[in-house]
Structure 1
């Protein structure tokens, strides 16, 4: 197979992925003779979603792990699937209907769900096709969807089981409510945005007429639902008022004055109003003090019948304005202050979320079951016992903190798209939870109810079905383990979950809880928690900021105008669109070049270091595209010198092998370094340190193999004996072939293409694909410290010689002689390598350097080096003085800038760090020039 002259990723990617998938290379292993099993679960993306940078980052990690274990010979499953995304999907379809002037209520539930299924069939494969572009290798034949029949049966079975165990119940409690969607939403679907608001100070008159209490609030409209005023029990200003009552302004109602430690005496006036039906903290206070709950809003956020008639039917914010006006007119408004506050907004609608008292279904998280433990308690035990481990370990604290302070989980949503709750209501208020209506009717009859049954209209929170993902995707049934299921038995628990820290609560902890409770097993052994991708300046990527990057654009490239059109599409604000266009033109004046999948994947993996945020700098992609080019060109070099040549691969007797192959210290060194790299790589996989993994492979390929061994091999190929040349060819081919296997999980496309050309020449067992070849394992007996020491000496001498050339400002093309003193035998063996490496015309080994020479001398251990060249002392002195003066000036400027407190405080951290690096570089260069000046002065 002949390689093209340059690396062009697009054609390679188009050719190889369909081949891999068609041949079934991604299939789950179920071989009974393999003791080891590796399984990883794809966090199910929204079925209507598209690939974003977070997906790309997450999936590059998962694919590297999957390919690694597949090549190690483990039974391997990467379980793919998508989530039905209740709210997101319903919104998409409703907007399509709105464009036609139709509402879902016009269609009815059944017809509307038909439309949703049609949309799912149309758009549901978008993100999985994009995953293929990223080179991911899940077992697509096992792809699951949370609304599949099998997964839906699991959802129903677990709901019924938990209900009958008393762990699911229906009750009226406070939840996050989206007035536009008119459904409860999870905390993850609520964005806390800091906004400029107001703090209204309102006077509440004491009922006995002895004065007033002033209360500060950011939401004056909720006062219509107040049921108490509250002070801190140790606040001496107000303790004498405990037991008294105040009159609620604008309402004909008296409120008790109570004490609770929740109050912050330093905030506002130290006296706060309590609205249990419209504030989560007040709700907890209301329960502690058995206060009345008075909802004052309808589900669409209008004032309801519990408020005075003049406000009923008004929108909540219109009512706010009217209430403030009335308070002022009646003398109850003390003052108004500007106040910055966090406003909860729905991430889908942008509307302000209301805490709303509604009837919902809940999972009792802390209730003790028949086995004496709670669902949350079991999840805590799984981690405390070490069965489930977090990487990095510090995320255990986040996990434990949430579970130790957990509230019951609201699992119902007022939507049509999703798993409809398997509960039927009787006219008398009784509820019958069952697997189907037939079973519900049987239960009702058994309990003496013969009236009509109406199915609960709510659906389950999407996170409920996602919590069952570890076993529902493996086709769990209530009969297991009595009923045989090879995949479930082999792959539950899975090996590792790869996820962001932002869903430890919503997904990770719930999978542990549900899997342990339902199956008795843990869902996964390890949880690798990565940070979140941000832009190069550390800002969150968002469409409104115009800093979003599309992984597919980075793979394929996109011109400037197309990028601008993409970023401003759908923006209704012309000013914002203009700002985004200006930013895009400034940051990407030529658009985004095509980096290819491998360079993008390697970039993602190189950034996967411990921490909460990951800054994505496009220049890293460019650097790793260059790395791919380097690997490509190195392979072309190796093929040029090994294809059709004798590599000494034929069998020989022990005596003959010594004459057939003669490995130099350089050959033994690169093999030794390869073993050490293999040790590092294995450890980094075990520790989930993908940044260090990428660095180990990068440094070995670029620094050791390409920059050093390839150059040393050129000397050996040109000057060696036939056994030496044969050994060098063999080493080049064998080491590079191993490198390709080593790098394959990170760089799947380029390594496949290169391996197909190289593996037969290297004499390796051929396979249809590199992913079926064995992953390299270190052979410790091949580690050779002596050869490593010898090459390090060679490197040190080469660096010293190059520094001498730099000090003397020699042209790279100018060849000059070198004088060297030291160990004659050692230097003689290194001389053939140093001459081409250092552009030497010759290298003389002498007993001593000339005492009267003015040229600079480098000392490396016991060796002294001097370039044998005539120097014009006057010219060289003048050059040095000018350069020292320039460097001194640059150092002064940099020091002044860094001493400027305003610059350090206001400039971006990256700019300040860059200035520090410039200063250190100037100082280091100056330090090297000073000894030269002193030598010239002595001359």
Structure 2
């Protein structure tokens, strides 16, 4: 049955993936040679709530390329798939579902019933992204699909196959007993909507219109001082008596929790009042609190007034100042972001707090109990309280000015509400105690981070690491295995029975309601998915893993934590290489977002162009450390590349290649120059692809294959083979059919890791095969053995002449269909032989009317040099030289103006320093392309000068 005219990706992809799955092609160890070395990749587990986006598509394409490449080479491969339970995201989805159905909410249902609903939701929707990854062609061992909550209490039978939950609980208990996990009070990102602590990665900082309020903090007892302000040269520009210190803030509602005012040690303006007290201008006058004026390196003397209020319980920078200076920290808000309504009347609490300003000792526990919110603000939303505070201060005449200002405000990426820094009791990993081995692993080269810039970021984060908050105030997740008695004593154990045994019979225990941060459980991903703490065959065979491919943005949140956790638990690095990539952006280098309307949906791309085109695009733009710019035009171009390969195979089929080839992978014996040449070129590209993939240069592998398949095979070899296939002797024809069949088969093998679908389809169509392409043997022939120097020189000479003539024709704007004469000025013996052997094809492909030998070129001819020969094109009577000069000069003039503007922007330090990185990169790329165009235009003009 003859091949279809085109490859129907929509029909073929589902059919081919099913065939791979049914044959067990992706199972761990499939196609492995005896005693093969293992090769393992752990998928960065997408959220169970997730849908495939371009970042997933890019990331998983690169992983699949490596897995398919190693599998074809006979490695014992495992690509471990799975999903993260995504605490906040999943809880949000289920609460939305309950609300839409009109059912009772989370609190009305209670914890147990709500978790039943979550497991039901997971069973119904949890495989969405898995099915989407399959559409991309991802060859994970899907039978081993893991889940970070498998084996958890209450999980249905379908999620009881793994023991991930047991691994997480065991690690917590072990680390707790070693003193690596503790409960304490620290400042965390607090989401008032979900009423939980969240990680930095779940905070989105957005620039918004805001205000900076400038207030007077009166000095205690009406004291005054001489305020002197000087210019850069030391000249006095302002001198006046003041009875206050000026403070600027974007969050007036937090003034109620101030513990001090800080100024820089070098700031001479405030030297007379350092150590004195000032009054917070909020609350009942008779109970106004006094706070000390202190020095610290944090305030910037050149910003605002140079004086900073320190509210340690509601600002991360202030928290560090408060800890350094022993300043009390007062929590003002409840878990919903409302001003606290609990506690004693304000006067009593203010009186307690007042003692701290006078130097009394304090503890976080006692300060946390103090509610410094006056009665009139209690229970108000924080933003409503802000309005009231500002109005009250203004009414008292203590407001200096209000400044309109752009401010960076933190928002919860899922809740969309403003995040509140909050001092709360949480569970922490004492990261300082476990970070050392993770640093040493990279410093000593046992784990390599690509690109190298990632290592600097890794060192910076880990050398300045803070305690890691691992508790979340959610219901969906691994519940913290700690129980408390009535006195607050802690009993950490894997089960309630073990905790009770530790506490003693009859002691009433209550379990901590919090759950673990998902980064804690996903930090155990490599060992947790392989069956640890059991000594499983998978642990023995596939751990440590090999390569981790992930986004630069989670280097700290996930990669570094996996390093720390695996080294702390099993004393081994989890992988030897970390390949980091940037965000996938649009074709202009801008971040994709729904608001900008520039989001590209990978599933829509697959529907329109097929998975192979998207995968090849991903590979082609995967330069190490490069900006990832995706455009539909590029994807369409690679779809056309697949069509080019398909058409070459159709040509082969119509010329008897499939019948003569019979699916053989043996290297054919060649006598014909063109066949010797293409066999050598195939060996060259095999070595180039292997070297590129070994070095994680996916773009180099893709570009080498593109140039070889489209250029060398589909264009040159197909054309050069036509005389042999159509007019050659039976022996020449058979040899060329066998060579073409082998070369096209090698194209399919080499392309398969990047374009698995179309290559698998063609592999089956080209002849009888012993196995599917997914398990075909990767070649190991060498260019040194297969390149025939004479054939190589001859064919490359012929191609060079054709390309030289084509280039000259294009530059001189010679009509495409016009056949032109060519003059041979000189030629050595090798050139003469190459011309004689290939003249018919050279004339046809370069659209040459005839080739005549002459001693010198006539006026109006342009030269085309090749190795060992010189040719000339007499164009004076063919083109209008003056018109061409005028046309090219006009284009060049316009281009030079554009270049001037681009160079001016890029030479401006302010533009380079302040413009977004993607804008600067786009300007540089634009300049490079325009300079290339300028060079081509100047070369064309120079050639026109030859003509006259």
Superposition TM-score tier, normalisation by shorter sequence: 0.7 to 0.9
Q: SS in structure 2 opposite 1:84?
A: coil
Is 1:774 paired with 2:787? no
- Structure-to-structure mapping, 1:428-827, within 5 angstroms: 428-445=487-504, 450-477=506-533, 480=534, 483=535, 485-556=536-607, 594-611=608-625, 613-643=627-657, 646=660, 662-760=670-768, 766-779=769-782, 780-803=784-807, 805=809, 811-815=815-819, 818-820=822-824, 821-823=826-828, 824-827=832-835
Is 1:227 paired with 2:259? yes
- The answer to whether the Cα contact below 8 Å between 1:224 and 1:307 also exists between their aligned partners in 2 is yes
Partner of 1:236: 268
* Cα 1:806–1:748 shift into 2, 3 Å: closer
C-alpha separation between the residues in 2 aligned to 1:377 and 1:802? 62
* Cα 1:800–1:535 shift into 2, 3 Å: closer
Q: SS in structure 1 opposite 2:281?
A: coil
Q: How well do the aligned residues superpose, as a CA RMSD in angstroms?
A: 2.5
* Cα 1:238–1:631 shift into 2, 3 Å: same
Is 1:170 paired with 2:175? no
Deviations 1:842-897 (A, max 9, x none): 545x4x34776765553434423356x8x8x6x657x2212211222222233234
Is 1:154 paired with 2:163? no
Query: Shift of the alpha carbon at 1:662?
Result: 4.9
Query: Shift of the alpha carbon at 1:199?
Result: 1.2
Give the one of 134, 137, 140 matched to 1:135: 137
C-alpha separation between the residues in 2 aligned to 1:923 and 1:325? 70
Q: SS in structure 1 opposite 2:462?
A: helix
* Cα 1:774–1:759 shift into 2, 3 Å: farther
Query: Shift of the alpha carbon at 1:924?
Result: 3.0
TM-score, with normalisation over the residues of structure 1? 0.88
C-alpha separation between the residues in 2 aligned to 1:689 and 1:415? 42
Q: SS in structure 1 opposite 2:480?
A: coil
Deviations 1:111-159 (A, max 9, x none): 1111111100110111101111101110011111111011001111001
- The answer to whether the Cα contact below 8 Å between 1:424 and 1:431 also exists between their aligned partners in 2 is yes
- The answer to whether the Cα contact below 8 Å between 1:433 and 1:440 also exists between their aligned partners in 2 is yes
Q: SS in structure 1 opposite 2:209?
A: strand
- The answer to whether the Cα contact below 8 Å between 2:580 and 2:625 also exists between their aligned partners in 1 is no
Partner of 2:25: 25
- The answer to whether the Cα contact below 8 Å between 1:647 and 1:727 also exists between their aligned partners in 2 is no
Query: Shift of the alpha carbon at 1:108?
Result: 0.7
C-alpha separation between the residues in 1 aligned to 2:302 and 2:38? 58
C-alpha separation between the residues in 2 aligned to 1:4 and 1:217? 71
C-alpha separation between the residues in 2 aligned to 1:470 and 1:73? 23
Is 1:284 paired with 2:335? no
- The answer to whether the Cα contact below 8 Å between 1:680 and 1:693 also exists between their aligned partners in 2 is yes
Give the one of 847, 864, 869 matched to 1:863: 869
* Cα 1:841–1:186 shift into 2, 3 Å: same
Query: Shift of the alpha carbon at 1:835?
Result: 2.8
Query: Shift of the alpha carbon at 1:802?
Result: 3.2
C-alpha separation between the residues in 2 aligned to 1:493 and 1:106? 46
- The answer to whether the Cα contact below 8 Å between 1:891 and 1:919 also exists between their aligned partners in 2 is yes
Query: Shift of the alpha carbon at 1:667?
Result: 1.7
Q: SS in structure 2 opposite 1:348?
A: coil
* Cα 1:319–1:167 shift into 2, 3 Å: same
C-alpha separation between the residues in 1 aligned to 2:406 and 2:634? 38
C-alpha separation between the residues in 2 aligned to 1:727 and 1:51? 47
Query: Shift of the alpha carbon at 1:315?
Result: 1.1
C-alpha separation between the residues in 1 aligned to 2:665 and 2:526? 51
Deviations 1:79-98 (A, max 9, x none): 00011110000011111222
C-alpha separation between the residues in 2 aligned to 1:904 and 1:356? 44
Partner of 2:124: 122
Partner of 1:419: 478
- The answer to whether the Cα contact below 8 Å between 1:109 and 1:416 also exists between their aligned partners in 2 is yes
Query: Shift of the alpha carbon at 1:351?
Result: 0.8
Q: SS in structure 2 opposite 1:386?
A: coil
C-alpha separation between the residues in 1 aligned to 2:82 and 2:202? 21
- The answer to whether the Cα contact below 8 Å between 1:199 and 1:336 also exists between their aligned partners in 2 is yes
Q: SS in structure 2 opposite 1:172?
A: strand
C-alpha separation between the residues in 1 aligned to 2:766 and 2:856? 51
C-alpha separation between the residues in 1 aligned to 2:86 and 2:813? 65
C-alpha separation between the residues in 1 aligned to 2:519 and 2:436? 19
Partner of 1:407: 466
C-alpha separation between the residues in 2 aligned to 1:853 and 1:911? 38
* Cα 1:662–1:388 shift into 2, 3 Å: closer
Query: Shift of the alpha carbon at 1:930?
Result: 1.8
- The answer to whether the Cα contact below 8 Å between 1:361 and 1:412 also exists between their aligned partners in 2 is yes
- The answer to whether the Cα contact below 8 Å between 2:658 and 2:766 also exists between their aligned partners in 1 is no
- The answer to whether the Cα contact below 8 Å between 2:26 and 2:140 also exists between their aligned partners in 1 is yes
Give the one of 432, 441, 452 matched to 1:382: 441
C-alpha separation between the residues in 1 aligned to 2:740 and 2:21? 32
Query: Shift of the alpha carbon at 1:520?
Result: 1.4
Partner of 1:589: none
TM-score, with normalisation over the residues of structure 2? 0.87
C-alpha separation between the residues in 2 aligned to 1:644 and 1:501? 46
Q: Between 858-867 and 263-272, report the one with greater CA deviation.
A: 858-867
Q: Between 17-26 and 884-893, report the one with greater CA deviation.
A: 884-893
C-alpha separation between the residues in 2 aligned to 1:785 and 1:749? 35
Deviations 1:205-244 (A, max 9, x none): 1114222111111111111000111111122222222221
C-alpha separation between the residues in 2 aligned to 1:226 and 1:256? 10
* Cα 1:246–1:612 shift into 2, 3 Å: farther
Q: Between 288-297 and 618-627, report the one with greater CA deviation.
A: 288-297
* Cα 1:854–1:321 shift into 2, 3 Å: closer
Query: Shift of the alpha carbon at 1:811?
Result: 4.8
- The answer to whether the Cα contact below 8 Å between 2:662 and 2:767 also exists between their aligned partners in 1 is no
Query: Shift of the alpha carbon at 1:102?
Result: 2.5
Partner of 1:110: 112
Is 1:922 paired with 2:937? yes
Query: Shift of the alpha carbon at 1:492?
Result: 0.7
Deviations 1:27-64 (A, max 9, x none): 00186932311000111111121111111111111111
- Structure-to-structure mapping, 1:183-202, within 5 angstroms: 183-202=196-215
- The answer to whether the Cα contact below 8 Å between 2:41 and 2:78 also exists between their aligned partners in 1 is yes
Partner of 1:568: none
Query: Shift of the alpha carbon at 1:505?
Result: 0.7
Unaligned runs of 5+ in 2: 152-162, 225-242, 341-370, 912-918
- The answer to whether the Cα contact below 8 Å between 2:214 and 2:246 also exists between their aligned partners in 1 is yes
Query: Shift of the alpha carbon at 1:676?
Result: 1.6
Query: Shift of the alpha carbon at 1:801?
Result: 3.2
C-alpha separation between the residues in 1 aligned to 2:248 and 2:23? 69
* Cα 1:60–1:808 shift into 2, 3 Å: closer
* Cα 1:171–1:816 shift into 2, 3 Å: closer
Deviations 1:887-908 (A, max 9, x none): 2222223323444589968997
- The answer to whether the Cα contact below 8 Å between 1:662 and 1:724 also exists between their aligned partners in 2 is no
Query: Shift of the alpha carbon at 1:398?
Result: 0.7
Deviations 1:709-764 (A, max 9, x none): 1111113334444433332222211111111101100000000011112254xxxx
* Cα 1:876–1:35 shift into 2, 3 Å: closer
- Structure-to-structure mapping, 1:832-851, within 5 angstroms: 832-844=840-852, 846=853, 848-849=854-855
Q: Between 805-814 and 412-421, report the one with greater CA deviation.
A: 805-814
